[in-house]
């Protein structure tokens, strides 16, 4: 699409016929010639309003993205979500763009591409959200669902965000993609870069202007992706939430996970065969005891006693304050439990005492149902 490239050169905010025809956009009046030229050869249609479904169908031809295949499908407003945990929810009218950047055959003979899914709502709120992946990636996350930043609220798409996700350059959640050097690069950072750029370009094509604000949100592997964006592509997003970022997975985060398990396993009660019952290293009551003590010590340090410890640096909690003076009781922890908590929250260390990974901030969330797992 050479013309699309030329159009971008002319305009700081990419516009095409699909966006220009929308009456809500002032730019529609400014570019009648280009509008006709980008109109897919049907100049007579230029004066007619384009339905969202038609704009969706036209998007691949107008996108002008290099080395990228695109398909689109339109979801009408109030379509009921099929199946799944969120079944029954009504979806807003939106265009689902499925893309594959740089499709290729890897050194292992397998097919690779940077896959992405972009949902473009009819009633766009001017904002763009990139939702992160997790684990080894390899799947396209449903961009119509709630994300980690919107639990309990309407999905970002439902709020009017344009939302994108990527499979990070390979299909399948195993680590076998590691055999291919380019797939490793794609997983590390390149797929996120390319997906963000493609998504913003498609947003420009669809709506006739770039996003007012752009955000990234991810957890675990997605948290690491957020940190990566902040370092390599710091101007891509106005804000990033990097939840529980799993950094240096092979030498850091995984070592920390093993360290934690070892600490808790060592103090867990044993079953009849002598096997440790890891889940019983702490009872729920024990964890509530710790959570309440953390709150009492640290909650208000952020200025608001609301159950959340947001000034983690100011929190100097020491679980020793909970240690039983005598036998373990309901209102105190054993010395072994106190020791295990200290070891876990200060992070893994080698035999010379050198820290191998970050510790954890004291947080009353440790009494929440998911913490133990
Ligand atoms: Ca607080």
Ion ligand 1: residues, CB < 5 A: 299, 302, 304, 306, 308
4 pLDDT exceeds 70? no
Where are the chain's structural domains? 63-243, 249-372
pLDDT digits (tens, 9 = 90+) for 89-131: 678 999 999 999 999 999 999 999 999 999 999 999 999 999 9
Cβ atoms 294, 318 nearer than 8 A: no
CA–centroid distance, residue 311 to ligand 1 (Å): 8
Residue 27 banded pLDDT, cuts 50, 70, 90: very low
Compute the distance from residue 295 Cα to the ligand 1 centre, in Å.
8
Q: How far is the CA of 310 from the centre of ligand 1 (A)?
A: 6
Token pair listed for 285: 């009551």
From 343, 369, 361, 345, select the one nearest 287 (Cα to Cα).
Answer: 369
Sort residue 159 into left (φ over 0), alpha (ψ -120 to 50) or beta: alpha
Mean pLDDT of all residues belonging to the chain: 86
Q: For residue 360, count CB atoms less than 10 angstroms from its CB and return exposed for 0-12, middle for 13-18, buried for 19 or more.
A: middle
Give the orientation angle of helix 254-267 with respect to helix 335-346, to 10 degrees.
180
| Nearest 10 degrees: Cα torsion 176, 143, 65, 204 | -150
Annotate 25-49 with DSSP letters as a single string: -THHHH-HHHHHHTSTT-GGGGGSP
Convert the pLDDT of each residue in 174-209 to its tens digit. 999 999 999 999 999 999 999 999 999 999 999 999
For residue 297, report the distance from its CA to the centre of ligand 1, in Å: 10
Chain centroid to CA 66: 25
- Each residue's pLDDT tens digit, 57-88: 999 999 999 999 999 999 999 887 765 555 45
Residue 304 alpha carbon to ligand 1 centre in Å? 4
Q: Tell how far the Cα of 324 is from the centroid of ligand 1, in angstroms.
A: 27
118 Cα to the center of ligand 1, angstroms = 36
């Amino acid at each position: 699409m050479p013309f699309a490239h030329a159009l971008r050169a002319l305009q700081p905010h990419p516009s095409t016929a699909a966006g220009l025809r929308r009456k809500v956009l002032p730019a529609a009046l400014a570019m009648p010639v280009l509008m006709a030229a980008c109109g897919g050869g049907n100049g007579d249609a230029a004066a007619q309003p384009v339905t969202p479904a038609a704009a969706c169908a036209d998007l691949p031809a107008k996108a002008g993205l290099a080395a990228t295949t695109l398909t689109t499908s339109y979801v009408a407003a109030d379509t009921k979500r099929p199946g799944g945990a969120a079944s029954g929810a009504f979806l807003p009218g939106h265009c689902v763009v499925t893309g594959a950047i740089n499709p290729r055959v890897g050194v292992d003979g397998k097919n690779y591409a940077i896959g992405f899914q972009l949902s473009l709502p009819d009633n766009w709120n001017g904002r763009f959200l990139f939702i992160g992946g997790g684990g080894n990636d390899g799947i396209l996350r449903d961009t119509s669902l709630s994300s980690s930043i919107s639990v309990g609220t309407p999905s970002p798409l439902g709020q009017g965000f344009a939302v994108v996700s990527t499979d990070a350059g390979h299909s399948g959640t195993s680590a076998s993609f590691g055999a291919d050097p380019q797939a490793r690069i794609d997983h590390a950072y390149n797929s996120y870069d390319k997906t963000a750029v493609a998504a913003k370009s498609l947003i420009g094509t669809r709506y006739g202007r770039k996003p007012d604000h752009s955000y990234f949100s991810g957890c675990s592997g997605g948290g690491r992706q957020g940190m990566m964006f902040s370092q390599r592509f710091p101007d891509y997003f106005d804000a990033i939430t990097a939840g529980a970022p799993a950094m240096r997975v092979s030498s850091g985060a995984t070592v920390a996970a093993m360290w934690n398990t070892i600490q808790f396993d060592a103090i867990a009660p044993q079953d009849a065969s002598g096997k440790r019952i890891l889940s019983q290293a702490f009872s729920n009551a024990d964890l509530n005891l710790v959570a309440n003590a953390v709150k009492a010590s640290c909650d208000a340090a952020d200025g608001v006693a609301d159950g959340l410890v947001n000034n983690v640096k100011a929190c100097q909690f020491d679980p020793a304050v909970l240690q039983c003076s005598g036998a373990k009781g309901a209102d105190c922890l054993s010395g072994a439990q106190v020791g295990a908590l200290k070891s876990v929250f200060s992070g893994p260390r080698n035999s010379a005492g050198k820290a191998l990974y970050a510790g954890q901030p004291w947080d009353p969330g440790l009494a929440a149902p998911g913490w133990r797992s």
